[in-house]
Amino acid sequence: MIRKSQAKLGAFLDKAEKPIQWLITLCGWSSIIFVAAIFIFILKESWPAPLTLNWGEFFFSHRWIPVPAEGNEPTYGAMGIMYGTLAITVVSMFIAVPLGLGSAVYISEFATPKLKETLKVLIEFLAAIPSIIWGFIGLVIMGPIIQKVFGVAVGVNLLNASIVVGLMAVPLIVSISEDALRAVPDSYREASLALGASKWEMIYRVLFPAAKNGLLAACMLGVGRAVGETMAVWMASGGTDNIPENFFDPMLLLERVKALTATIAGEMPEAVNGGEHYQVLFIVGIVLLTISVVINVVSDLIIKGFKADKA
């Protein structure tokens, strides 16, 4: 009896083999289909503006006036808002990466089991704070503090937005890099300590190289978070699309900036559906999508490079 039913099941599975294979192949390809579909959708919504847009102005001017004063022509100079997004991303990573990696090392290597659990819960809580609350903190609490500490006129600026976004990215970086560190076998730790390495040398020379793919992936997810963050950045960044004269002047941290995401969020609800402004906002969306794709591909190549080193 049992044997008979087993045989039946076997026959069924034999027949089902092909459809199941198809289904799984489809699942595998689905993400590619989704990405392509999103690209096509955004491109379709932006059409035909890519043909008529003054691309030189788009990339090299920071005069963004899509709804001009009566009698003027609209100008779409997006250089200032692209600079804003890139600047917030870079500066926020200077805050988030050391903080995130440091706290992952502490949680995985130094904390007692009880403390570890508490810290992990708290960090998950940090990740659950809605972005509008972060924006509110930036605008109402950190703004006045930055004004006092640095003696600047306006506290919503690049530094404020970067701190907010950096703190938002920290939980992501901590949880993924902590996983990566935990995945390193204990035998590595024991072997290096037995050879006389100090704990710091063990972490720096053994754990980090062994876990570097995971750590890099954690940082890249943090970068993705910073590029895409909208509401908090909008509230904490000040919203002006100026470009600094000197990119190495630390004072630019205290300048106000404006991000791509905030521009789309602020102008889309009022843009005339299907009008030129609407289409150009979708081009801004394509720029944003391209930035995240480039970051992902570059980080992938870096990880592949690491693997090639190993081999």
Partner 1 sequence: MKITPLMKLGAQGALTISLVLSLASCGGGDDADTKTITVNGSDTMLQVGLAWSEAYQEKHPDVLITVNGEGTGTGVTAMINGTTDFAQASRSFKEKEINDIVAARGVAPVEHIVGFDGIAVYVHPDNPVKSLSLPQLKEIWAEGGTIDNWSQVGGPDLQIERFGRSNSSGTYGFFQSAVCGKGVEFKPGTGAQPGSTAVVELCMTVPAGIGYSGMGYKNDEVGWLAVSKTDGGQAFEPGNETVGSGDYPIARKLYIYTLGEPTGVVKEYMDWIKGPEGQKILADEDFVPLSN
- List of residues contacting partner 1 (CB under 8 A): 62-72, 131-132, 135, 139-140, 143-144, 147, 153-156, 230-231, 234-235, 238-240, 242, 256, 258, 261-273, 277, 285
CA-wise closest residue to 230 among 135, 139, 145, 101? 135
In 3-state terms the chain splits into helix, strand, coil percentages (rounded to 5) of 80, 0, 20
Query: Considering beta carbons, is residue 222 or 278 the nearer one to partner 1?
Result: 278
CB of 294 to partner 1, least distance (A): 19
Query: Considering beta carbons, is residue 210 or 268 the nearer one to partner 1?
Result: 268
Q: What is the DSSP letter of 102?
A: H
Query: Considering beta carbons, is residue 72 or 112 the nearer one to partner 1?
Result: 72
CB of 80 to partner 1, least distance (A): 9
Q: Which residues contact 116 (CB under 8 A, 6 or more apart)?
A: 107, 108
Q: What is the DSSP letter of 269?
A: G
Q: What is the distance between the alpha carbons of residues 124 and 248, in angstroms, rounded to a whole number? A: 36
Q: What is the distance between the alpha carbons of residues 258 and 242, in angstroms, rounded to a whole number? A: 8
CB of 30 to partner 1, least distance (A): 21
Query: Considering beta carbons, is residue 76 or 170 the nearer one to partner 1?
Result: 76
CB of 64 to partner 1, least distance (A): 7
CB of 44 to partner 1, least distance (A): 16
CB of 91 to partner 1, least distance (A): 18
Query: Considering beta carbons, is residue 56 or 71 the nearer one to partner 1?
Result: 71
Question: Does residue 89 contact residue 288 with C-beta atoms inside 8 Å?
Answer: no
For the chain, the farthest-separated pair of C-alpha atoms sits apart, in whole angstroms, at: 88
Query: Considering beta carbons, is residue 209 or 266 the nearer one to partner 1?
Result: 266
Give residue for tokens 């009022």.
Answer: 270
> In terms of DSSP bridges, do strands 64-65 and 75-76 run parallel, antiparallel, or are they unpaired?
antiparallel
CB of 173 to partner 1, least distance (A): 21
CB of 38 to partner 1, least distance (A): 12
Query: Considering beta carbons, is residue 109 or 267 the nearer one to partner 1?
Result: 267
CA-wise closest residue to 237 among 134, 102, 106, 93? 134
- Region for residue 71 given its phi and psi (left: phi exceeds 0; alpha: psi -120 to 50; beta: otherwise): left
Question: Does residue 211 contact residue 179 with C-beta atoms inside 8 Å?
Answer: no
Q: What is the DSSP letter of 272?
A: P
The two three-digit tokens of residue 208, written as one number? 């980090």
Q: Would you mind telling me the total number of residues written for the chain in this entry? A: 311
Query: Considering beta carbons, is residue 148 or 304 the nearer one to partner 1?
Result: 148
